Each structure stands twice: as C-alpha cells, then as structure tokens.
Chains A and B, each alone.
Chain A
Amino acid sequence: MASIEMSHIVKQYGDGYPAVNDVSLDIADGEFMILVGPSGCGKSTLLRMIVGLEDITSGDMVIAGDRVNDKAPRDRNLSMVFQNYALYPHLSVFENIAFPLRLAKVSDDEVRRRVEEAADILELREHLQRKPANLSGGQRQRVAMGRAIVRAADAFLFDEPLSNLDAKLRGQMRTEIARLQRRLGITTVYVTHDQTEAMTLGDRVCVLRKGVIQQVASPRELYEQPVNLFVAGFIGSPPMNFLPATVDGTALSTPFGTIELGQERAEKIQGRDLLLVGIRPEYFEDASLVDEAKKPYGSTFTARVDVTEWLGDAQYAYIPYEAPTEVAEQLKELSRELDSDQLRTQAVVSIDSTSRIREGREAEFWLDARKIHVFDPKTGENLTRDAEAGRKLTEMAAEDRVEQVERAKV
C-alpha cells in the first residue's frame, strides 16, 4: 500500500513531441484513480511511467515516499494488468498466477496457499490446471488480475483491462474490479477511454488532453462542474450539447429560444458577444410531460425532430440546428478531438420513454436552465463554473470512499 505522487512529469519522445506534459498528480493511499481521455492523450504513457516501462524525461515520480525515476520495474513493487492480458501461454493458469511469487523465490507451500487464495477470490479454482489458450476472454482477464493480486504489491495499475471484452462481460468485470479494490484497499490507477468505467469506478478521475491534465475531480464534480469545454464534452453519454448563444441582458438567446440565467450567472458572462452554452441531454424534456411546478425553472421551445431512438428506459431525439460557421468549425474540431465524428450540428435530447414525440414532427420541448453551463468558445473555459459546489462534491466522494473502505475491512 502506498501513495503515488507525481510532480511536473514530462515525457518527450525522440522527435521532441511531449506525450505527457508537466503532469502533477497526487494519488492517495488506497485511492482509485482513473486516467481518462481520448486516444493519444498520454494516459497510457503516464501509466507506463508509473510502472517503469517508459523512461521519465523530467519530473519526479514518488511512490511510498521513494523517488523511483531510476528504478527498474521489478524494484517498484507494483502490479499491472495489461490491455491484452499478456498471460504466459506456455504456463498453466496456476503457474501464471504464481509467476511473480516464483521469481521472488517464495516456498512451494506458500505459493500454493496464496495462488489458491487468489483463485478463490476470482473464482478460478477449477481452471488452475488449464492453459490460457483454452480460457474465455473473461477468464483470461481474471487470470491477469490474479497475477496482479497474488503478491502484496504497493499499487495496482490497469491499462484498459476491459476493452477486449464484450459489453455484457465488461459490465460484470467492472463491478468485480470495484469490489476487489474496495476489499483489498490498494491504491489503484486505472487507464480507460470508456467513460462509463471512469464514472463508475473512480474515486477521482483525471481527464487528460494532449498530455496535459484538464481536471482532476470526483466523477460527480466532472459531470456537474466541468472546468472547460473539453471535459464537459468528454464526460457524459450521449455527450453534452453545445449551442451558440448571444448575451441578451440576463438571458441567452440560442437556436432553442431564450434561456434565462439569473442575476448571478449572468454577471459572469457580461461583455461577451458569442458564447457556447452547454446543455446535457437530460436537461431537456417533452414539454407536455413536465410538472407545472417545475416549468418556471426553464424555458420552452418548439423544434422539428429529425430522428428518435427509443431504448425502452429512455428515448433520444435528435434536433438539428443552424450554427454560425465560426462556431460550427469549433464544434467540429472538438468532436474530432473527442474521438467522435459529429457530421452535423444537432442536439441530442433525452425525453421520457412514454413521450409521443415522433420523427419529422414539430414538438414542444422544455429545457431546465438551472444546471446549464456557458463556455467561452475561444478558450473553452467554463464561465459559469461553481468551484465551491464542485469542491463539495469531491469532498463528499472522498468521505464515501473512507466509509466504503472501512465497511469492506469488517
């Protein structure tokens, strides 16, 4: 068990390109930290620098109080689960799990005891004598985890461990990993580009973009108080809608009508002309289904629905809108950076699954104005972020974690 402290970590490749640029991040003992970002953001490089498979160009990597920059991977006492599992195909499951113990020259009895203990946790008991080639994807994944937990490592590192599994298994393994981490209480760093994993697993999530940290916070804070356009667009699925807006007193005028912001938030955006307003899909609703009591908190507008997707528990409607070319370019750039390729400017709207709104018709929508954010289109900065509220959300998550770890120990 150990904390991991990184200060001003830089990774520069031969051609001078900084894959990781001035990253400072403290991971507390027993914390579950997620590194997330679109491909090429440097998250895997950062993880590999922690474990020692990648040299650190400059900065300090401190694990459990020791500077480990120049230590070989074997001297860092970390264990890692690779994306493709990297099981040893010539060894049985038992020997795969026992491998780190064998290298540490642990006695045979002790090896047997500890491997069986790990196998019991991961329900691999009946597969111990099989070869990895004969296992299913999920079983292989568990063997890789077994190899990681069998030795008393200071921290677990996961490099997109679930990306090779099918969706159903991924969900199961995700809860399994969460349970395991709480039970063992070991510091964990987990790299993923899947934001469901990021939101559900992490105590805190670190969002990276082109090697630079954007925001480190609890999933809730990221979701509700994103620091900029990038974080707002990356976190959440379907993603946040960004609409062009102009200031009009204390209100914003957008393609979806006028949105009243209120005095406090309006002050923060005074004196600017073109802005981007970020609205999550679930802030919308079919106007005919909204409670009368709730209606004053938002505004209503009518729009033509292009496509609807009915999913049983929810329903999405796609509403195209016109955007000035300047903003459209900006949004296109952003969506490319977020690994999605949005072809047209359209808003995704989540409406109740019982709604009778159908494709191709004009419909009336209601928009909850309370939680929307306003961004500067040039810098991407969130102008209406409430730092205090965000800090509280992250504090709450930290308290929850302490409680969960305590409960798991009993």
Chain B
Amino acid sequence: MSTREKVGWGIGGLIIIVYCLFPVAWIISLSFKSSDDISNGQFLPTAFSGENYEQILVGDAAGLFLPALVNSFGICLIATFISCLLSMFAAYAIARLDFPGKKLILSTALAVAIFPVISIVTPLFNLWRQIGLYNTWPGLIIPYLSLTLPISIWTLSAFFREIPWEMEQAAQVDGATPWQAFRKVIVPLAAPGVFTTAIIAFFLAWNDFVYGISLTSTEAARPVPAALGLFSGASQFESPNGPIAAAAVIVTIPVVLLVLLFQRRIVAGLTNGAVKG
C-alpha cells in the first residue's frame, strides 16, 4: 500500500470514528456540566463538575437510580445466562440432529425476533397483573428471554455448524459418552461463540426500554433505562439533562468493560488446526 493510500484510509477511518463516537463524547461532556452550565452553547463544560454524578449516586436521584442499576444487572445477567444455556442445547440439536420440525423452530425463532415488542406489551401487562408477575424480576426476565433467545439460537447454531462433526465422533470412539463429548469437546470449541452470543444477549436485555417502563411500577424491578425516563430536575422548570447524561455514562461503562474483557475470547479461528490445514 502506498503512502497516499495509507493516508486516505487513515482519514476515512478517522471520519467514521468521529461520526460514531461524537454523541458519546457529547454525553460525557454533558454529564460534567453543572445545571446552570448545561446551555452554555459550547462543547466543553466551563468548569468540570461532579454535581450530576453526586446527584444520581448519593443525592436526590440515588433512590431512583441505584436500585434500578441493581435490577438491571440482576435481571439482565439472569436472562443472559438462561438464554445462553437454553440456546446452547437448542442450537446443538439444530446443528447436529435431523428431526422433524427443525425448520419450524428456526423460523418461529425468527418470527419472534421480528415481532414488534410494542404489540405484545399491552396484553402482557394485563396478563402479568392477573398472575402476579407484574413489577417482579421474573416478570421482566421472561419477556427478555423472548428478545434474546431467537438471536442466540441463530448465532449459536451457526457456530455449532462450523465445528467439524468428526471431533465429536473422534471423542465417542475415544470412549466418551455423548454428554462427555459435548462437554469436553464441543463446548470448549463453541466457547467463543457462546461468549459472543452472551454479549449480544446481554446488550439486548440491557438496552430494553419498552418492557422496562411498562411492566414495572416501583424500584422493586424497574431497570435503568426506565428509571432514566423518570428523572426530574431540581425544579419543574429545570430539565434533568445533566443527571440523565451522567446515568447514561454509568450504564455504558459495563457494556464497554464487557467487550474489552471478552474481546480476547471472541477470537475467531480457534478451530484452525483441528482439521487439515
């Protein structure tokens, strides 16, 4: 690649990065502005202030934000875990076994994934109130599974299909039961896929707003995105933009951490060398 091409690519990349990350930078900058500085008309705060963070972590809004943070973490982690476990078995069956209705399962999963959330949420609201799931953790975990399972099954079955079947047969000839072959050979090989799926599933649940705002009423189960919508300013004439920005920054941190942490695990090509090279 010539120098000119390199420079071209560099500039192009830079433009895209700036375009993507500018809103994030803006939110961060906003979160450090004090309430009377918010409309200062410039990108950077006049003076950096921790006022907003203070407000949501220990101040007025803490009662709203902190339980919501706990709820979000708890609900999303549980939903992710369950969906990974279920989709692992489902995807394995879909990739390996030939059974009637296989296509039906896959297309149903797809149908569920494209079904608009807003059309289910009203009946779900009524049903949950009747059977006592309204405003509880399971009341959110179950709909979150409907968000995360289809995509998990699809991505994982693609991963499982990549694993050569001979691996498993070799394990069986070596003396493994089908369960041992699955646990000692297939699962380690699918690990990158499982991590990828887990991260996608976690994001889907973490970012949900509609279920969160509709199926909860108190801090017993309300997740962060819903709680953000309920922030109010110090007076009714003041918009709560600062605290919302601060909360948005805080909820972005786990997502960023998650990606950085598992980046290494999402290494493609782990199966290289298993078969002929």
Interface residues of A (CB under 8 A from B): 51-53, 72-74, 78-80, 82-90, 99-100, 103-104, 131-135, 137, 140, 147, 151, 164
Q: Is B174 a contact of A103 with CB atoms below 8 Å?
A: yes
- With a cutoff of 8 Å between Cβ atoms, the chain A residues found around residue B105 in the complex are none
A143 to chain B, nearest CB (A): 10
* A74-B175, A88-B185 known; A80-B170 Cβ under 8 A: yes
Determine, out of B4-12, B210-218, B248-256, B265-273, the stretch whose residues face the partner at the interface: B265-273
- With a cutoff of 8 Å between Cβ atoms, the chain B residues found around residue A73 in the complex are 169, 172-173
Query: What is the size, in residues, of chain B's interface with A at 8 Å between Cβ atoms?
Result: 25
Interface residues of B (CB under 8 A from A): 164, 166-167, 169-177, 180, 185, 188-189, 191, 270-277
15 additional contacts (CB under 8 A) given A82-B169, A88-B189: A51-B173, A74-B173, A74-B176, A74-B177, A79-B174, A82-B170, A86-B166, A86-B167, A88-B185, A90-B188, A131-B273, A132-B273, A132-B274, A137-B277, A164-B276
Q: Is A103 a contact of B180 with CB atoms below 8 Å?
A: yes
27 A–B contacts, CB within 8 A, in A order: A52-B172, A53-B169, A53-B172, A74-B172, A74-B176, A74-B177, A80-B170, A83-B166, A84-B164, A85-B274, A85-B276, A86-B166, A86-B169, A86-B170, A87-B273, A87-B274, A88-B170, A88-B274, A89-B270, A89-B273, A90-B189, A90-B270, A103-B174, A131-B273, A132-B273, A133-B274, A147-B170
- With a cutoff of 8 Å between Cβ atoms, the chain B residues found around residue A51 in the complex are 173
Q: Is B274 a contact of A89 with CB atoms below 8 Å?
A: yes
Q: Is A133 a contact of B170 with CB atoms below 8 Å?
A: no
- With a cutoff of 8 Å between Cβ atoms, the chain B residues found around residue A78 in the complex are 173
B192 to chain A, nearest CB (A): 10
B178 to chain A, nearest CB (A): 8
Q: Is A133 a contact of B273 with CB atoms below 8 Å?
A: yes
- With a cutoff of 8 Å between Cβ atoms, the chain B residues found around residue A72 in the complex are 172, 177
A368 to chain B, nearest CB (A): 43
Q: Is B172 a contact of A89 with CB atoms below 8 Å?
A: no
- CB nearest neighbor in A for B166: A86
What CA separation (Å) do A233 and B158 show in the bound complex? Answer: 44
What CA separation (Å) do A73 and B173 show in the bound complex? Answer: 5
B48 to chain A, nearest CB (A): 48
- With a cutoff of 8 Å between Cβ atoms, the chain A residues found around residue B271 in the complex are 89
- With a cutoff of 8 Å between Cβ atoms, the chain A residues found around residue B273 in the complex are 87, 89, 131-135, 140
- CB nearest neighbor in A for B170: A86
Q: Is B174 a contact of A84 with CB atoms below 8 Å?
A: no
- CB nearest neighbor in A for B98: A14
What CA separation (Å) do A104 and B175 show in the bound complex? Answer: 7
Q: Is B274 a contact of A80 with CB atoms below 8 Å?
A: no
- CB nearest neighbor in A for B188: A90
Q: Which of B173, B176, B272, B277 has the most CB of A within 10 A?
A: B173
Q: Is A89 a contact of B170 with CB atoms below 8 Å?
A: no
- With a cutoff of 8 Å between Cβ atoms, the chain A residues found around residue B272 in the complex are 89, 133
Q: Is A86 a contact of B275 with CB atoms below 8 Å?
A: yes
Q: Is A82 a contact of B166 with CB atoms below 8 Å?
A: yes
What CA separation (Å) do A359 and B174 show in the bound complex? Answer: 56
- With a cutoff of 8 Å between Cβ atoms, the chain B residues found around residue A151 in the complex are 175
Q: Is A84 a contact of B275 with CB atoms below 8 Å?
A: yes
- CB nearest neighbor in A for B269: A133
Which one of A52, A85, A135 contacts B275 once the chains associate, using CB atoms below 8 Å?
A85
A99 to chain B, nearest CB (A): 5
A48 to chain B, nearest CB (A): 8
Q: Is B173 a contact of A84 with CB atoms below 8 Å?
A: no
Which one of A85, A99, A131, A135 contacts B171 once the chains associate, using CB atoms below 8 Å?
A99
B23 to chain A, nearest CB (A): 40
Q: Is B189 a contact of A89 with CB atoms below 8 Å?
A: yes
Q: Give the 6 A-B residue pairs with the shortest CB-CB distance, closest first.
A: A133-B273, A86-B166, A86-B170, A89-B274, A84-B275, A100-B174
- With a cutoff of 8 Å between Cβ atoms, the chain B residues found around residue A74 in the complex are 172-177
- CB nearest neighbor in A for B191: A90
- With a cutoff of 8 Å between Cβ atoms, the chain B residues found around residue A85 in the complex are 274-276
- With a cutoff of 8 Å between Cβ atoms, the chain A residues found around residue B270 in the complex are 89-90
- With a cutoff of 8 Å between Cβ atoms, the chain A residues found around residue B174 in the complex are 74, 79, 99-100, 103, 147
- With a cutoff of 8 Å between Cβ atoms, the chain A residues found around residue B170 in the complex are 80, 82, 86, 88, 147
- CB nearest neighbor in A for B180: A103
- With a cutoff of 8 Å between Cβ atoms, the chain B residues found around residue A132 in the complex are 273-274
What CA separation (Å) do A53 and B180 show in the bound complex? Answer: 16
- With a cutoff of 8 Å between Cβ atoms, the chain A residues found around residue B188 in the complex are 88, 90
What CA separation (Å) do A74 and B179 show in the bound complex? Answer: 12
B165 to chain A, nearest CB (A): 9
